[in-house]
Amino acid sequence: MLFRLIFCIAAALSLLGCSATITATNVVPPRAADIKVKEVGVLEIKGDKDDYFANTLSSVISKLEKGGEKRFQVYDRMQIENIIREQKFQATIADPATMIKFGNISGIQAGFFGGINYSTGQRSYRESRTRCESKDRCYEYSVSCTDTDHALRTTLSLTDFSTAKVLYANTFNKSLRVKSCSDSSYASTSSTSGDGKGFLDFLGDALSTETEEEETPEAVKHLKDSSEPFVRLVNVTMTDIAKDLGEYYITSTIEIEKTDKTLNEADKIRFESGVDFASSKRFDRACEIWGELERSNPKGSNLIFNLGVCKESVGDYEGALNYYKKADSLALEPNKMINRALERINRKLARSAAK
């Protein structure tokens, strides 16, 4: 049994020689992409005693982008508070008539409202330690420890002041566990459960050279790291808000085929020169070469697959799906690389549709 397992692993590893990888960075549109208003302001955030959350939110929103341009013009919060005070509005501005009046006076098209609830809980216990005074003389002792769970629940909405319609709403729940002992102190995030994958699934993931990583949105990169749990929870909440309301990037490492045995010798050399260009970060040139080859080789499965990667690399997910499906129909045997590509592109299409 062990020999068979080792053989399977070795055989799987040998397959990696059939592929190369390219790195592609794609823009992910905001999850709430349909918001049309431009002039916005952060009004009341209940539970935000020192306005830290509201001020941070204003800063992040002011840096959000869509289509490479600033998405919102954010009004200064002091200016908003002056209007509310002078016109004797309630900070909640709850009824539609008041919203419309406030919008007309202030020039603000829509306002952010919400609330935060920050809570903590503690658990005390003791942990064992071992101390050695010499190689042969060790003893055990215990120290007192405390786990402090910090939780931040945030509700946020954006309301159009001309119609009183809610344009966006979401709830965020973030938690952090800080562990401290009498002899040390450190913080760690709450653990998560496993995904239920078996060994063969794990092996397949390990052998695949593909990765997909969401980059931190530019709008939150200016936020300072902090050891303060509340600030850390605010920062991770802001990251989610930034992905809801602004575009961000995903960097993918994607496999490509290194050769296509269905091609004649001259075209095979040309195909492999495209792979060389791709490996040299000239994927544009590689796609140009493969596109030229497609005219005389419309049934080259690996060629068609690589053209699917070309489409995916520029964010044309529908085009990529069509090429991957065609490559799958042309393949003479099951191809795990095509299977992974189909799963990946369907995931990206679903994510785009949800936005």
Q: Which two tokens stand for residue 190?
A: 């709450």
Strand-by-strand arrangement of the 110-134 sheet: 73-74, 39-46, 110-134, 137-160, 166-181, 184-188
Q: Structure tokens of 331?
A: 């393949």
Give 191's DSSP letter.
Answer: P
Which residue has 């596109």 as its token pair?
Answer: 291
Which pLDDT score, from 0 to 100, does residue 230 have?
Answer: 95
Domains and CATH numbers, the chain: 39-249 (3.30.160), 259-353 (1.25.40.10)
pLDDT of residue 196: 40
pTM for this prediction: 0.72
Helix, strand, coil shares of the chain, percent, nearest 5, are 40, 30, 30
Q: Which residues of the chain have pLDDT under 70?
A: 1-19, 90-94, 185-210, 354-355
Closest of 164, 156, 169, 338 to residue 254, by C-alpha: 338
Q: Is the Cβ–Cβ distance between 260 and 192 less than 8 Å?
A: no
Residues in the chain: 355
CB count in 10 Å sphere of residue 332: 7
